[in-house]
C-alpha cells in the first residue's frame, strides 16, 4: 500500500498527480500494467507507482541532479535512446520532463518503439499559467531569498530530501558549477528559460495547450485524452507549504493549473 501521509507540499502535489494517473489507468483497463518512467529523478514516483501494483522500470541520465539520491533502481541512458527492446511496455510515463529534452523527436520515436500495440504515452507538461505565475513570482521570491540570507539564523544544511523534486529534467540549462560568476549572478537576477529551448517569454506560447497539441500531432501522436492536474503552483515555490493541496486545487480554478496531462496513442 502507498503511504497516504505526504511529508512536504511537493510530495503532496506529486501524490495527487499519481492518484490521478492511477485512476486514469484503471479506467483504461491498464491497472497493474508495465510502465516505463522517463526522467525518473530519485525514483520516488516509480516506487510509488510500484506500491500501487504496477510493474515499473525507470530511466534517467547519469548526470541527473538526483543521481546521488536515488531510492529506486534507475537505469542510466543517453537522453535519446531508450535501453529496452521493442514492445516492452504498456505505458510510457513522464512528469514535467519533455520540455527539458533537447532531442525530443528521437525520444518520441523511441517511446513508440518500446510501447506494445495498444499502449499509451502519458505525460505531464507545464502550462502557460505555470509559466506566467512563475514569472510573476520571480522577483518576490528573490526578495524572500535575500531576506533569508540576511536575517535568518544560520543553521546546518540538511541533506536534500529525496521527494523534494521527484522528477529530474533530461536537460538542465544553467546548472553547470563551472559557469562564470557573472553568468551565475545574472541568471539569478534575470528570469530564465525553464526548458531546453527558447526564453522565459517564448515559453508563454510554447507551454500553451494549442502548442502542445500541435507538437504531439506533428510527431505522429493522437491525443486520446486531455485534462489538467488541477493544482496551482509557481516555479519559484512562493508560499510553499503555506498552501495545502486542497487550497491549491481551488486556486487552480481561478489562476490555472501547473500542468497539462496528455494521454497519447499512435495514429
Q: What is the mean pLDDT of residues 180-197?
A: 76
Backbone angles phi, psi at 228, to 5 degrees: -100, 165
pLDDT band at 7 (very low <50, low <70, confident <90, very high): low
C-alpha–C-alpha distance, residues 24 and 45, integer Å = 16
Q: Which domains can be identified in the chain, with CATH numbers?
A: 9-129+193-266 (3.40.50.150)
pLDDT category at 174 given cuts 50, 70, 90 is very low
| Helix 9-27 vs helix 44-51: crossing angle, to nearest 10 | 50
Structure letter (DSSP) for residue 16: H
- Asked if 137 and 236 touch (Cβ cutoff 8 Å), the reply is yes
| Average confidence score pLDDT of the chain | 85
* Number of Cβ within a 10 Å radius of residue 179: 11
Residue, of 190 and 116, whose pLDDT is higher: 116
Category of 50 on φ-ψ map: left (φ > 0), alpha (ψ -120 to 50) or beta? alpha
Q: What is the mean pLDDT of residues 152-170?
A: 47
Q: Does position 4 have pLDDT exceeding 50, yes or no? A: no
Three-state secondary-structure class, residue 41:
coil
Per-residue pLDDT for 164 more than 90? no
Amino acid at each position: 500500500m502507498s503511504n497516504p501521509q505526504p511529508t512536504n507540499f511537493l510530495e503532496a502535489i506529486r501524490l495527487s498527480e499519481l492518484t490521478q494517473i492511477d485512476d486514469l489507468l484503471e479506467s483504461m483497463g491498464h491497472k497493474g500494467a508495465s510502465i516505463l518512467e522517463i526522467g525518473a529523478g530519485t525514483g520516488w514516483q516509480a516506487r510509488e507507482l510500484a506500491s500501487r501494483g504496477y510493474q515499473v522500470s525507470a530511466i534517467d541520465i547519469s548526470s541527473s541532479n538526483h543521481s546521488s539520491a536515488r531510492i529506486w533502481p534507475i537505469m542510466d541512458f543517453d537522453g535519446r535512446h531508450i535501453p529496452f527492446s521493442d514492445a516492452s511496455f504498456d505505458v510510457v510515463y513522464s512528469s514535467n520532463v519533455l520540455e527539458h529534452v533537447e532531442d525530443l523527436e528521437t525520444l518520441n520515436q523511441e517511446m513508440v518503439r518500446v510501447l506494445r500495440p495498444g499502449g499509451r504515452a502519458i505525460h505531464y507538461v507545464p502550462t502557460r499559467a505555470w509559466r506566467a505565475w512563475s514569472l510573476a513570482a520571480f522577483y518576490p521570491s528573490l526578495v524572500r531569498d535575500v531576506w533569508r540570507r540576511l536575517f535568518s539564523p544560520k543553521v546546518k544544511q540538511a541533506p536534500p530530501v529525496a521527494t523534494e523534486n521527484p522528477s529530474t529534467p533530461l536537460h538542465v540549462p544553467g546548472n553547470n558549477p563551472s559557469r562564470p560568476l557573472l553568468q551565475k549572478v545574472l541568471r539569478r537576477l534575470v528570469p530564465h528559460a525553464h526548458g531546453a529551448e527558447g526564453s522565459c517569454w517564448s515559453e508563454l506560447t510554447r507551454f500553451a495547450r494549442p502548442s502542445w497539441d500541435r507538437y504531439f500531432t506533428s510527431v505522429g501522436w493522437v491525443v486520446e485524452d486531455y485534462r489538467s492536474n488541477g493544482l496551482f503552483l509557481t516555479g519559484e515555490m512562493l508560499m510553499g507549504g503555506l498552501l495545502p493541496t486542497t487550497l491549491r486545487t481551488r486556486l487552480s480554478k481561478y489562476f490555472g493549473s501547473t500542468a497539462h496531462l496528455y494521454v497519447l496513442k499512435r495514429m
